[in-house]
Amino acid sequence: MSAEKFFNHTELLRCPACGTAFSRCGSSLRCEKGHTYDPSKKGWINLAPNTAPSRYGSALFEARRRILEGGFYDAVLHAIRSAMPENPETVLDAGCGDGTFTKALQGNTTIGLDLSKDAIRLAAFGGGPILWVVGDLTRLPLKNTSVDVILNLFSPAHYAEFARVLKPDGKLLKLVPQEGYLREIRALMADRLHREAYSNDAVVSHLSEQFHIADRIRIFGYYPLTEEQARDFLFMTPLTFGTDPGALDASLLKQITIDVELLIAERPGK
């Protein structure tokens, strides 16, 4: 039943191996050259079958989900929602992780794509209409000019692919950390981190090569933490990757700064 939604959206999807269109063939999606992919009954599909497993385990995504559900990113979500058109037809969350943001920012049709199978499995848990896809950002399994809004939140990007799948009047909404972002964690880890200054200059200049940046919105907030939330923050942030977050003293982390920028980009010449 949950696999059905993929067969109803073959107009959006295309084969990641050869780029040709899909049609239904029994319980599989089959492209014109005969590559086949089977949607899972649990509501997701693997369109990047040759990818090595990612280093992000599901425990990380569970910590992230608790943090997102704890309200720390409500102002961020509000800003993103305000930048989206009303009732967008098709939304792609490129690098959707566990899908908590995706679920809060849906269009009529929504695709949540991530290279991590653990993340996509977790996202699909509980059902719903979102098309959860294990897929590669650098080879999006989507047709040209098929998407109204691309969300790219704290995630790597591939702007040429984004430009290919976005409709001419579509929007790319990219969220990037700013210098205050999680600064309490960086202070806690000061002796283990190399100078980890955030700068958006490279992101902005790279984005400008393919897109016109129509607006930039800074979102800043400052929140008290319970010890449990402190532990979840330590666990979910890439800042602590390569170290043992359990070895850090979460009780020292009493508050957290959220400092991000939302970049609203359009196709050039629009």
User: Which positions lie near Zn ion, rule CB under 5 A?
Assistant: 15, 17-18, 31, 33, 35
Identity of the residue, 36 or 82, whose beta carbon is nearer to Zn ion in the bound complex: 36
With respect to Zn ion, which residue has the nearer C-beta, 33 or 206? 33
Q: What residues contact residue 234 under an 8 Å CB cut-off, 6+ apart?
A: 185, 188, 240, 245, 248, 250, 253
Q: Residue 10 or 200: which CB sits closer to Zn ion? A: 10
1 token code pair: 């039943």
Per the CB < 8 A criterion, the answer to whether 149 and 106 are in contact is no
Residue 53 DSSP one-character state? P
CA 237 from centroid of its chain's CA atoms: 14
| Cβ nearer to Zn ion, comparing 10 with 178 | 10
Smallest gap from Cβ 132 to Zn ion, in A, equals: 20
Name the DSSP letter for residue 223. E
Q: Which of 142, 123, 141 has its CA nearest to residue 132?
A: 123
Beta bridge mates, 110: 91
Q: Least Å distance between CB 145 and Zn ion?
A: 20
Q: Which residue is nearest to Zn ion (CB)?
A: 15
Shortest CA distance to 39 belongs to which of 119, 135, 116, 164?
135
Q: Minimum distance from CB of 259 to Zn ion (Å)?
A: 43
Q: Judge contact between 93 and 111, C-beta under 8 A.
A: yes
> Considering the complex, what minimum distance in angstroms separates the CB of residue 136 from Zn ion?
14
Min separation Cβ 16 and Zn ion, Å: 8
Comparing CB distances to Zn ion, the nearer of 139 and 183 is 139
